[in-house]
Amino acid sequence: MIRAGIIGWGENGKKIANALHFQIKDVEVIGIATENQEGRDYAMNKMGLKHVFSNFSGLLELHQIDMICVCSDGDRHLNHVKKSLSSGSNTFIDHPLASNVEDCRKLEKIIDNYPSYKSTVAFPRRFDHRLEPVQRDIIEGRLGNILRVDCHTYEPILQQPTEDEVPKVRKGIFMDLMLQDIDMVRWLTGEEYESVYVTGNAHKYPSLKRQNDADTAIAIAKMSGSVLVNFISSRVTHRGSGYELKIVGTNGEINISQLDKYDKLVDSIDGKPFYLSSGAKENDYLRLLKDYVTAIKNGNKIKYQIEDATEATRVAVAMTKSFLLGQEVSLKS
C-alpha cells in the first residue's frame, strides 16, 4: 500500500485527493497539510483523515509517507518540494513547477539530487485520451506539415463575485489557464517556441486589470518549423470549464471540442466523425495519477521530464511580459 500525503488545497488538490483516496487501488491518503480551512474540513469529514495539519512540517514528521503531492501555490513549491524529497518521499507536483524560471532551475537540480525517488509535474492534458490518436497522426505525417494550432481554454471564476470584487488569482491567466496548452502544443508538435505576442483585457472583472492580470487574453506564438499557435483563454464563460483544440495541416485538420454532447474527434481527411465510447472517458488527473503510482510501484520511467515543466513556465513568463509591455517577446535566447 502506497501511503500518500497532500500539501496545499484547491480545485486541483481536491481532484488529486479524491482520485488517490477513493479511486486508485493500493493508495491511501493518510494526511493533509493546508492553511485552507475548507480543505481541512473536507479531509476530516469527507475523507475521514486523522492526520490533518495547518503546517506542512507536521505532515512530513509522520515518517510513514511514501508519496507527497505538492498542491500549494507555485511560489511555495521550491520549499515544499525540497522538504518533501529530503523527508524520503516520492514527489508529485501540481502545475506550475514554480512561479518563475529561476526557481524551476533550482528545482531541477534539487530533484536531480534524489534520483531514487520519482518526481513529476502534473500536466493532465498529456493524459487526455482524445489526444493520443492526435499525436500519432502528427508523428506519422497524416496531417502533412502542421500550419496552425488553435487552443481555446475557458474556466470561470468559481467564487462568482461581483465585477469589482474578484479576488487575486495567484497564478495569473498565463501561468494558470494557458500553461497546460503551452505544454500540450509543444508535446504534440515536437516544436519549440520562438516568440510570443499577447493582448488581453479585464472585460468583466476590472479588478483583475489592477492586478496586472486579465479575464480574457489572446496569445500568438511562433514555433520552430513555421508553426503558428493561437491561444485564447478566458475566465468569462457560461458553459463551465473546458478546452477546444484545432490542428491544421497541409493535408487536413483535427478538431477536439468539449462543447458537443459527446467528445467528438472530426478528421477532415476522410470527413467521418469518430465518437469516443463512454467507457474510454476517464478523468485526466486519474489517468495521470494511475501512471505515476505505477511508476513508483514498478520502477517505470516517468514519461516526461522536469525540464518540460520549466520550459512551459518560461513561455508563460514570456507571455506575461508581452502582456505587460504590449510587444512581442523572443524566446530564442
User: Where residue 176 sits, what CATH number does that domain have?
Assistant: 3.30.360.10
pLDDT for res 241: 77
Of the residues 122, 144, 179, which one is the last residue of a structural domain? 122
pLDDT tens digit string along 108-124?
999 999 999 999 999 98
Rounded Cα gap, residues 132 and 129, in angstroms:
6
Q: Is residue 86 located within the same domain as residue 150?
A: no
Of the residues 75, 104, 122, which one is the last residue of a structural domain? 122
Residue 78 lies in a domain: yes
pLDDT tens digit string along 250-266?
998 888 876 443 444 44
Q: Which residues contact residue 311 at a Cβ distance below 8 angstroms, ignoring those fewer than 6 apart?
A: 183, 186, 192, 193
Q: The domain containing residue 242 runs over which residues?
A: 126-284+312-330
Q: Is residue 194 located within the same domain as residue 104?
A: no
Rounded Cα gap, residues 154 and 240, in angstroms:
7
Residue of 209 and 185 predicted with greater confidence: 185
pLDDT for res 132: 82
pLDDT for res 262: 42
Where does the pLDDT of residue 8 fall: very low under 50, low under 70, confident under 90, or very high at 90 and above? very high
Q: Is residue 279 located within the same domain as residue 132?
A: yes
Q: Is residue 149 located within the same domain as residue 212?
A: yes
Residue 254 lies in a domain: yes
Q: Is residue 237 located within the same domain as residue 136?
A: yes
Q: Is residue 150 located within the same domain as residue 235?
A: yes
Residue 290 lies in a domain: no
Residues 230-241 have a mean pLDDT of: 85
Cell representation of residue 304 = 516526461
Residue 320 lies in a domain: yes
Residue 319 lies in a domain: yes
pTM as predicted: 0.88
Q: Is residue 110 located within the same domain as residue 193?
A: no
Residue 30 has pLDDT above 80, yes or no: yes
Residue 294 lies in a domain: no
Q: Is residue 185 located within the same domain as residue 225?
A: yes
Where does the pLDDT of residue 275 fall: very low under 50, low under 70, confident under 90, or very high at 90 and above? very low
The tally of domains found in the chain comes to 2
pLDDT tens digit string along 279-331?
334 578 899 999 999 999 998 888 888 999 999 999 999 999 999 999 999 99
Rounded Cα gap, residues 9 and 17, in angstroms:
9
Q: Is residue 132 located within the same domain as residue 115?
A: no
Residue 231 has pLDDT above 50, yes or no: yes
Rounded Cα gap, residues 116 and 251, in angstroms:
45
User: Where residue 34 sits, what CATH number does that domain have?
Assistant: 3.40.50.720
Percentage of the chain exceeding pLDDT 90:
64
Residues 208-233 have a mean pLDDT of: 92
pLDDT for res 225: 85
Residue 268 lies in a domain: yes
- Amino acid at residue number 179: L
pLDDT tens digit string along 135-149?
988 999 999 999 999
Running DSSP on this structure, what letter comes out for residue 163?
T
Residue 305 lies in a domain: no
Which strand (E) or helix (H) includes residue 78? helix 77-86
pLDDT for res 167: 53
pLDDT for res 332: 87
Q: Is residue 158 located within the same domain as residue 276?
A: yes
Of the residues 122, 140, 163, which one is the last residue of a structural domain? 122
Q: Is residue 84 located within the same domain as residue 181?
A: no
Residue of 193 and 209 predicted with greater confidence: 193
Residue 21 main-chain phi, psi, to 5 deg: -80, -35
